[in-house]
Each structure stands twice: as C-alpha cells, then as structure tokens.
Structure 1
Amino acid sequence: MQKILKAHKYVIQAGMSMDEMISMDQFFINNIYCKLRGNVPKVAWRRLTCNNQSAPKWNFILLLTVHGRLYTRDRLKRWGVIHDATCPMCGVAEESISHLFYVCTLSTEVWQKLLQWQGIYRQPMEWDAEVQWAISQHNGKSSSDEIYRMAIAGSIYQLWHERNLRVFQHRQRLAGEIVRVIIQEIFYRGSMKLSLRKKLQSLNFYP
C-alpha cells in the first residue's frame, strides 16, 4: 500500500492525473519515465557507450572520457592538487584527455596496433577527431562496428589503467602487452554474441 501511495507522487510530477491513468486501456511505465525525464535530445556518440558489448568498467571510463571528467594531471594542476602535469607515459607533454587519447607516443602505438588488428590502416587522431570518426564510420549495427566500439572502449580503459599503474605503483607495460590484454578481453566478451563470434574468428586472438 505504501508503494502505491508513493507512486501517486510520481504520477503528479509527470503531469498526469489518476483519472487519466485509470482511463487508459494499457499503462506503460516507460510513459511515466519519459515524462519525468523530459524531452532530452540524443547525443551523437550514444552508440559508443549504449551499444557497446564491452565490460561495464570499460564503458564507465569511456563515458567519463567523452564527458571530459577524467582527473587528468592538467585538471589537478589547475585545482592546485599537484604542481607537475607532465604525462607519466611519455614524460614529454602535459597530460590531458586530448593528449592521452591518442597523441601520447604510447597511446598512439596502442591505438595504431588495434586499428591494424581490425584491418584499418590510417593514422591515429586526437580524441575529438576519433569520436567524430567513430560516429561517422562505425555507428552501425554490423559486427565490425561493434568490435570497433569495443576496441575504442578497451583502449581508453587500459591506457587509463596504465597511466594509473605508472603514477601510483611505478609499474609499466609495453604497448604490445596492453594491446594483447584488450584483444583477448574483446574475444572473451564478444564470443558471447553469435554475430560477433563469427567475425572474431577471422581476427588474430594472440597478436
């Protein structure tokens, strides 16, 4: 009974009356949800995260990256948390999202290898350009597009993980090791879906 009474509050918030609900032939929770959420436009990059077969932790870090919410060293320096914003992976430029993905020499090498693994022969671009490329070239439902979205999520997660290993544990991996971890995780998760399994069989499991 308490849940029913509480539900009345949400109906009112959605701008509906109880009489209106009672008169409906069918009632869908989705109708209430859409009214409560409001008319929010869809973002162009939604398929990168919402239609991605990757591990949830990959998609979470990808979502933070797309929103510019990673605690990169350039942001920490602006907040007065640290004094040195040098990238811990290349030791040359200031660390930022646009530098980490994919201007840094290590991240460039990792993403280049992942592109070649998929049969894509082009140079890595900086982050905003890569997002636009993914939207324009790999926004579909084909197995190749799904694997591409998994690869970009995996590269973001593992490069951020590598960055943290170097900052907090003073450990480091070679580009080839990082690529192998990403590809094997893509095989593991992608093989759960029949259409991806068939496509993955044509790719190298242990590059």
Structure 2
Amino acid sequence: MDTPKNAAWVVRKIIGSRKKVIQLQNIQGDLHKMLGQMQLHGKFQIKKAYCLLLPQLPRVPWKTIVLHKQIHPRFKFNLWLAAQKRLSTFDRLQKIGIQVPMECVFCDRGVETFDYLFFACSINRGLWGKLLQWLGHYETIGTWKEEIHWICNMAHGTNGAASITCSVFGMMVYCIWQERNSIRFQPGQYNATRVYRGISLHMHIKGRHKAKWQPILSTLNCFA
C-alpha cells in the first residue's frame, strides 16, 4: 500500500518498515523465520526488529575514541569530523570554490591539508609531543592515521591514565582547529603556552571528582 501523505510520521515509518520487511523476505525467503528472529522468549521485541532492519555496515576503526565517555561533547563533535577528515581545510574549501590562502597558518611552510595539519606541521606535532611527554608517553609522533590508531587502542583501557590521555587528545584536536580558525579568519595569534596550560587546567578541573584521575593528576601538577 502507498504511504498516505497526510499520515503522521510514526505511521509513515511503520508502513516504510513493512516495505523493508517484504523486501527482506524476497531476499532471504522465509518471512516466518525472519519474524522469529525478532522475538525473545516468544514475545516480539522492537529492539530486535530495529536491529534487523538496520543496514549491516563495517565498523569504523575510530569508534572507540569518538564515543569515549571522558571526552567533552564539544570536543567530540570536532573529533568526529576530524576522524573522517571532514574539517574544512584549504584543499576542501578549494573544491567548493572558496578561496583562502593555502599556507599553513601555524608554520607558514606547507599547504594546509588535513594530513599536514595533523601532524606534518612541526608546530602541531610539537604540541602533541609535549602533551604526550607531560602524560608520560615518550612516543614518536607519526601521521594522523598512526596517531588515531594508537589513541583508539588507548581508548580501550579503563584506567585513569588511558582516560586522561584520550581526553587530552580530544581537546588537543579541538584546540588546534580552534586556533587555526582564529588565526585564519580573525586577527588572532597562536600562543603555544596558552594552549598547553588551557588543556592542563581543563584536565585538573575535570579530574577533581574522578577518583581514578586524582592519583595521576597529582603527579602532573607541573607543566613545562
């Protein structure tokens, strides 16, 4: 049956789901068997039906860091865009006809692409490297792909050190993009010390009520 145009959105969704079930029947064969998969202990479960109707897509590798519960929602959205390389860097702006200077606003040495901003640029690589040293991680800074892979593995940890590191990474990505916009579109000037101290202060304030964070933050009371 056709979906009535004046029907409520819930009714339209139900009718649309019916069409999907019929399509699945044509593909998978037995409708009764499919309906059985939507039951639990003989009772129909909306959750099971919803999951069955969802398209089966491969999991993205950056899920653990983007959904990390210790990263502030304001930072999460920016990190979600960054994980997909959707931030509006010079090369992306140029594709849609927006003309901006192509040089990196931090080092003024290379073309501002996403991979250059994270972390081919010596200024941003230095920021992340100094934050890692502050946290006690003496790692060689690689490409964005390598760093996101490393931090996603870190996000699987449940201890305080892992949570703080993930939270710092999320805020660091946000700060880099915020500073970039400030310099490019406003009369701003990059101040590395201000960014370092801002991230450090945020971690200490956030960790005041987190028992797992407090022993670690007590050793991070100095910031060079």
TM-score, with structure 1 as normaliser: 0.83
Work out the CA distance in 2 between the residues paired with 1:89 and 1:23: 57
RMSD: 3.0
Closer, same or farther: CA 7–83 of 1 in aligned 2, 3 Å: closer
- Alignment correspondent of 2:21: 15
> Aligned ranges for residues 80-119 of structure 1 at < 5 Å?
80-82=97-99, 84-119=101-136
Alignment size in residue pairs: 206
Closer, same or farther: CA 167–20 of 1 in aligned 2, 3 Å: closer
Cα contact 1:59–1:153 (8 A) shared by 2: yes
Work out the CA distance in 1 between the residues paired with 2:40 and 2:192: 62
Work out the CA distance in 2 between the residues paired with 1:197 and 1:34: 40
Closer, same or farther: CA 9–23 of 1 in aligned 2, 3 Å: farther
Compare 139-148 and 92-101 and name the one that shifted more. Answer: 139-148
Work out the CA distance in 2 between the residues paired with 1:170 and 1:27: 60
- The one-letter amino acid paired with 1:12 is R
- 1:168 paired with 2:185, answer yes
Greater relative contact order (Cα < 8 A, sep 6+)? 1
Compare 97-106 and 10-19 and name the one that shifted more. Answer: 10-19
Gaps of 5+ in 2: 1-7, 23-33
Gaps of 5+ in 1: none
- Alignment correspondent of 1:51: 68
* 1:147-201: CA deviation from partner (whole Å, max 9, x where unpaired): 1111111110000000011011121232121111122222333444332344333
Cα contact 1:190–1:196 (8 A) shared by 2: yes
TM-score, with structure 2 as normaliser: 0.77
Closer, same or farther: CA 26–104 of 1 in aligned 2, 3 Å: same
How far 1:113 sits from its partner (Å)?
Answer: 1.3
Cα contact 1:86–1:95 (8 A) shared by 2: yes
Cα contact 1:102–1:127 (8 A) shared by 2: yes
> Aligned ranges for residues 1-207 of structure 1 at < 5 Å?
8-9=14-15, 12=18, 15=21, 25-26=42-43, 28-82=45-99, 84-204=101-221
Percent of aligned pairs with the same residue?
Answer: 27
Closer, same or farther: CA 122–24 of 1 in aligned 2, 3 Å: closer
- The one-letter amino acid paired with 2:51 is C
Work out the CA distance in 1 between the residues paired with 2:213 and 2:60: 25
- The one-letter amino acid paired with 2:134 is W
User: Structure 1 segments of 4 or more deviating over 6 A?
Assistant: 16-23
Query: Which structure's CA Rg is the greater one?
Result: 2
How far 1:11 sits from its partner (Å)?
Answer: 5.4
Work out the CA distance in 1 between the residues paired with 2:132 and 2:98: 36
- The one-letter amino acid paired with 1:65 is A
Cα contact 1:191–1:200 (8 A) shared by 2: no
- The one-letter amino acid paired with 1:50 is L
SS of alignment partner, residue 194 of structure 1: coil
Closer, same or farther: CA 3–169 of 1 in aligned 2, 3 Å: closer
Compare 96-105 and 190-199 and name the one that shifted more. Answer: 190-199
